[in-house]
Amino acid sequence: MILFIVFLPLLAAIVAGFANKSFGAILPKVVTTGALFASCALSWPIFIHYLGGGEATVTPVLDWIHSGDLAVDWSLRVDALTAVMLVVVTSVSALVHLYSWGYMEEDPDQPRFFAYLSLFTFAMLMLVTADNLVQMFFGWEGVGLASYLLIGFWFRKPSANAAAIKAFVVNRVGDLGFMLGIFGTYLVFNTVSIPEILRLAPGMAGSTIGFFGGRFDTMTVLCLLLFVGAMGKSAQLGLHTWLPDAMEGPTPVSALIHAATMVTAGVFMVCRLSPMFETSPFALTVVMTVGAATCLFAATVGLVQTDIKRVIAYSTCSQLGYMFFAAGCGAYGAAMFHLFTHAFFKALLFLGAGSVIHSMHHEQDMRYYGGLRKSIPITFWGMMMGTLAITGVGIPAVFGNPLAIGFAGFHSKDAIIEAAWASGQHGASIVGIIVALLTSFYSWRLMFLTFWGKPRWEQSEHIQHAIHDAHGHGHDAVHAGHDDHGTTAAHAHHGEAAEEGQGSEPHAHDHGHVVQAHPVFTTHGDGTGGYHPHESPFPILLPLIILSIGAIAAGFVFHGYFIEPSAGEEYWHGAIAFREHLMHAMHEVPLGVKLSASIAMLTGLLGAYIFYIRSPHAPRKLAETYAPVYDFLLNKWYFDELYNLLFVKPAFAIGRFFWHRGDEQTIDRLGPNGSAWVVSQGSRVAGKLQTGYVYTYAFVMLLGLTGAVTWAITR
């Protein structure tokens, strides 16, 4: 059965890829979507089976690399941890396939798109079913490839290509750590089989190993090397720069790969190897610190972004930080639980944002939204559920209330904050609470800017195009515009207009040239420019509705299995290092901690309400008053600029230096050119034979060879 789950998407990707446009777009769409729904339908029974507790099974597929005592096989491992990932991956993937029927409707390259999506799903499933580190690396790189292809799906667009390369290369930095981690693990344990490693790991506690000239604690070195890989894939601080740029890909891709599944692979890896991380307290501290730092960093940047997808991207980055610091505190169950709930509500938010973008003719700047809740009500309610889930709305089990109940994120996020407190990491816990406040603020800011207030889109170039085309040249330009998204110029412009959009005030001074170009469409006065958004088609709405159910209920229904002491122990069944006492201690944290997340959530909501509903001019004033802080956040802490300066430019400069100064002016001058000069002086005589250089040298060479051989024979 697991064979079908994993290989159906591969088969579908191959069929869709090779059929391409030969049979129209329908065949690839039906094949890939059908395969994914079949995989999904087969996955849920497995998950439900493991809810009752079950042993791990390993299905061998094929020998892979056998070299001495290094034995790596293709095989599929299923246990409780894999089961979680199976349902997450196949469910979200199936829904995203369906969603893409609507979203990618006008794209001429749909077969390619669906083939990539299915290929991605296959690679992700190989990753989560890996029984050894090398197969995990196969999946790891496979999802990287799919991500590269999908980010660069609109390959005519320079920004998409740049983002795709960036994603791949930054991930490779992480992979360097992962590979070295595998080498080190193999050296220490003589195996790459995950269960074997986890069995042997506790025995190596306290051992030391040489690495890069120094001597360190063995398990710390191995865990940190592997964690570098996780940082790359899960976009943790330092290696996060690719994730926001990855939003160049089509929105369904962002939802599937860059929110729900691929980026969580790092968290999955740390949980999978949790018994190994348990042997190195230092490594765990690093995991926790990096997670907390990312969590805070991304949330602050998310506060000021104006592109709807980028806000959600930073939010993802921040939520991944939560998962890592949960793992770093030893609450692996809570980390996996947040991964599970996050997959649903973040996919929902992204797909909802996609639906907004679809209705707004590919306008992604929230400054040009406003008042959309009446025109696209289903999308609005979907996004609302997602927001309630991510901000963690719910009733905590305090003041005698026996049963905590709330949206998905409420259960998982509270668990993380409480677990952090219970494990003695009070600092991390406080960071978690602060970030909960920031999360609430940026999430509600997104909702208020998009769905409340008055319409502000008459200044949007995309909307202008839409109106223009509708009135003028039919739909040709819309199609062309869809393919390359026509956003290059618009984005550059938005980037320059570095200020907060708010209220209903038109930004005529920002977009003077636009107004001049289309004076006709600016006269409506209601901010709509005469454009009225329509709700998205059914294939887009159905996934939103299904995911809404997940965002509402996933936390309440499953929290027992993931984090409750006894049920959790029974469910995980050794698949992760489950610290039962920590899960007990979680319930004993002070009242203040239990309430803190909810208080933070309400504070954030209130703040967003004041800033974006009550007094819409306040954000700009605040931004002007604290301009340096605002710019710092808007420019994402200047990470891109710094890396450009430190790595990208020097790499090219050094490359040029090596090439000209090294190869041409040193090696060649002292080597062949020098001797060539000597030889050419001497061979003028040969030149007189008029046989041409080539023959001369060939002849000389033959003579030399013959001479040498003769000498050897007659010596």
Partner 1 sequence: MTGFPILSVMLAIPALAAVACLFVSAQGARWIALIATLIDFVLGIGLWASFDIGGPQWQFVENAGSLGVFSWKLGLDGFALLLVMLSVFLMPICIGASWVAIEKRVQEYMAAFLITEVLMIGTFAAQDLFLFYIFFEAGLIPMYLIIGIWGGANRIYASYKFFLYTLLGSLLMLVAMLWMVNFAGTSDIPTLLNTDFPVQVQTWLWLAFFASFAVKMPMWPFHTWLPDAHVQAPTAGSVILAGVLLKLGGYGFLRFSLPMFPEASAQLTWLILALSAVAVIYTSLVALVQSDMKKLIAYSSVAHMAIVTIGLFAFNRQGIEGAMIVMLSHGLVSAALFLCVGVIYDRLHTREISRYGGLAINMPRYALLFLFFTMASIGLPGTSGFVGEFLSLAGTYRVSTTATLLCTTGIILGAAYMLYLYRRVVFGEIVHDDVRAMKDISLREMALLAPIAAVALWMGVYPESFLAPMRSDVATLEARIARATPKGDSLPTPGKAPATPAAHAEARP
Instruction: Work out how close the CB of 315 gets to partner 1 at its nearest, in angstroms, rounded to a whole number.
Output: 28
Could you say which of 45, 203, 474, 687 contacts partner 1 (CB under 8 A)?
A: 203
DSSP characters for 289-331? Answer: HHHHHHHHHHHHHHTT--BHHHHHHHHHHHHHHHHHHHHHTT-
- Determine if 155 is a binding residue for partner 1 (CB under 8 A): yes
- Determine if 618 is a binding residue for partner 1 (CB under 8 A): no
| Site for partner 1, residues 213 to 232, rule: CB under 8 A | 213, 218
566-605 mask for partner 1 (x: CB under 8 A)? --------x-------------------------------
The tokens of 196 are what? 């074997």
| Site for partner 1, residues 263 to 322, rule: CB under 8 A | 275
Burial class from Cβ neighbours inside 10 Å (0-12, 13-18, 19+) for residue 2 reads buried
- What angle in degrees, to the nearest 10, is found between the helix axes of 265-272 and 110-128? 20
CB 255 within 8 A of CB 347: yes
**Nearest CA among 89, 90, 87 for reference residue 44:** 87
CB 414 within 8 A of CB 597: yes
CB 222 within 8 A of CB 188: yes
CB 372 within 8 A of CB 356: yes
Could you say which of 24, 45, 49, 66 contacts partner 1 (CB under 8 A)?
A: 66
Residue whose CB is less far from partner 1, 213 or 525:
213
Stretch that binds partner 1, among 140-148, 285-293, 599-607, 622-630 (CB under 8 A): 140-148
Q: Give the C-alpha separation, 538 to 694, whole Å.
A: 72
Burial class from Cβ neighbours inside 10 Å (0-12, 13-18, 19+) for residue 711 reads exposed
DSSP characters for 521-574? Answer: GG--SSSSTT----PPPHHHHHHHHHHHHHHHHHHHHHHHHHHSHHHHHHHHTT
- Determine if 58 is a binding residue for partner 1 (CB under 8 A): yes
Could you say which of 180, 239, 290, 329 contacts partner 1 (CB under 8 A)?
A: 180
Residue whose CB is less far from partner 1, 296 or 490:
490
Stretch that binds partner 1, among 43-51, 202-210, 381-389, 603-611 (CB under 8 A): 202-210
Question: Is the alpha carbon torsion for 286, 290, 291, 296 positive or negative?
Answer: positive
| Site for partner 1, residues 376 to 415, rule: CB under 8 A | none
Stretch that binds partner 1, among 65-73, 366-374, 492-500, 595-603 (CB under 8 A): 65-73
619-658 mask for partner 1 (x: CB under 8 A)? --------------------------------xx-xxx-x
Residue pointed to by tokens 């999360």: 439
87-126 mask for partner 1 (x: CB under 8 A)? ----------------------------------------
Could you say which of 182, 243, 331, 335 contacts partner 1 (CB under 8 A)?
A: 182
Residue whose CB is less far from partner 1, 140 or 314:
140
Could you say which of 424, 590, 672, 687 contacts partner 1 (CB under 8 A)?
A: 672
Residue pointed to by tokens 């600092």: 427
DSSP characters for 434-454? Answer: HHHHHHHHHHHHHHHHHHSS-
- Determine if 148 is a binding residue for partner 1 (CB under 8 A): yes
Residue whose CB is less far from partner 1, 427 or 672:
672
| Site for partner 1, residues 676 to 715, rule: CB under 8 A | 676, 679, 693-694, 697-698, 701-702, 704-705, 708-709, 712-715
Residue whose CB is less far from partner 1, 625 or 690:
690
Instruction: Work out how close the CB of 366 gets to partner 1 at its nearest, in angstroms, rounded to a whole number.
Output: 29
How many residues touch partner 1 (CB under 8 A)? 94
- Determine if 489 is a binding residue for partner 1 (CB under 8 A): no
Instruction: Work out how close the CB of 125 gets to partner 1 at its nearest, in angstroms, rounded to a whole number.
Output: 14
Provide the greatest CA pair distance for the chain. Answer: 108
Instruction: Work out how close the CB of 235 gets to partner 1 at its nearest, in angstroms, rounded to a whole number.
Output: 17
CB 5 within 8 A of CB 42: yes
Beta strands in 322-368 (DSSP E): none
Could you say which of 23, 48, 63, 454 contacts partner 1 (CB under 8 A)?
A: 63
In one-letter notation, the amino acid at residue 27 is L
Going by their DSSP bridges, the two strands 394-395 and 70-78 should be labelled as unpaired
Could you say which of 22, 67, 516, 690 contacts partner 1 (CB under 8 A)?
A: 67
Could you say which of 644, 663, 665, 691 contacts partner 1 (CB under 8 A)?
A: 663
Residue whose CB is less far from partner 1, 232 or 527:
232
Q: Give the C-alpha separation, 126 to 144, whole Å.
A: 13
